[in-house]
């Protein structure tokens, strides 16, 4: 068999293409999962309002979903409550509703710690821009990064983001 010379650039190009597509699929899956959780939260809330159901419906729904989808994760009563709260937190916000679909479910859960929409928007933008993991996001919320940036409002837009970027650099150095 003849040896093919100079094929490595083709291999590298194909590997890069595969990795790009894998990443796109993961982003799409995340967005669809968030959309599903939004719709579940909306439906639970709507049905509770229309039919006057209390808390027990979430427990019943959880058991039924776990029975119907035995290997699937995410349908515990606690997570169904999170879906409902997720929907209620953002459904009135034209600005935040689309943004929360761009970050992971675990980061959205951590966002429940935020007190208002401005704080949520700040952290969502940081997650999107810098790719924060749930641990990093949680640390920044617990350390009140948003509040500290507000205290230094002289050059809020530039100075605050610059400080966060400088603080994050060690997180990205291997």
- Pair 81, 18 in one domain: yes
Mean pLDDT, the chain, rounded, equals: 88
- Provide the pLDDT confidence category of residue 4 given band limits of 50, 70 and 90: confident
- Pair 158, 86 in one domain: no
DSSP 74: S
Q: How does pLDDT run across 118-136, given as a tens digit for each residue?
A: 999 999 999 999 999 999 9
- pTM exceeds 0.95 for this model: no
Domain that holds residue 161: 93-174
CA 104-109-113 angle, 5° bins: 130
Tell me which of 123-127, 154-158, 160-164, 168-172 is least confident. Answer: 168-172
- Which of 35, 62, 91 represents a domain boundary (last residue)? 91
The predicted model gives 87-102 an average pLDDT of: 94
- Pair 44, 25 in one domain: yes
Tally of structural domains, the chain: 2
Q: Residue-wise over 20-43: b if at least 16 C-beta within 10 A, else e? A: eeeeeeeeeeeeeebeebbebbbe
What CA–CA distance (Å, rounded) separates 136 from 142?
A: 10
What CA–CA distance (Å, rounded) separates 116 from 141?
A: 12
- Pair 59, 70 in one domain: yes
* C-alpha of 40 from chain center: 16
The predicted model gives 34-54 an average pLDDT of: 97
- Pair 100, 19 in one domain: no
């Amino acid at each position: 068999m003849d040896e093919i010379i100079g094929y490595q650039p083709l291999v590298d190009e194909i590997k890069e293409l595969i990795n790009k597509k894998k990443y796109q699929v993961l982003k799409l899956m995340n967005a669809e999962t968030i959309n599903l959780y939004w719709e579940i939260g909306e439906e639970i809330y709507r049905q509770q309002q229309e039919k006057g159901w209390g808390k027990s419906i979430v427990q019943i729904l959880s058991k039924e979903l776990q029975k119907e989808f035995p290997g699937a994760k995410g349908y515990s009563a606690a997570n169904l409550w999170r879906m409902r709260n997720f929907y209620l937190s953002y459904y009135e916000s034209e600005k935040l509703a689309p943004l929360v679909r761009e970050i992971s479910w675990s980061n959205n859960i951590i966002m429940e710690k935020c007190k208002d929409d401005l704080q949520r928007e700040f952290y969502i933008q940081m997650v999107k821009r810098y790719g924060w993991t749930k641990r990093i996001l949680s640390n920044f919320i617990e350390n009140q990064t948003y509040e500290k940036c507000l205290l230094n409002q002289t050059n809020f837009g530039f100075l605050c983001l610059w400080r966060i970027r400088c603080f994050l650099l060690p997180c990205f150095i291997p």
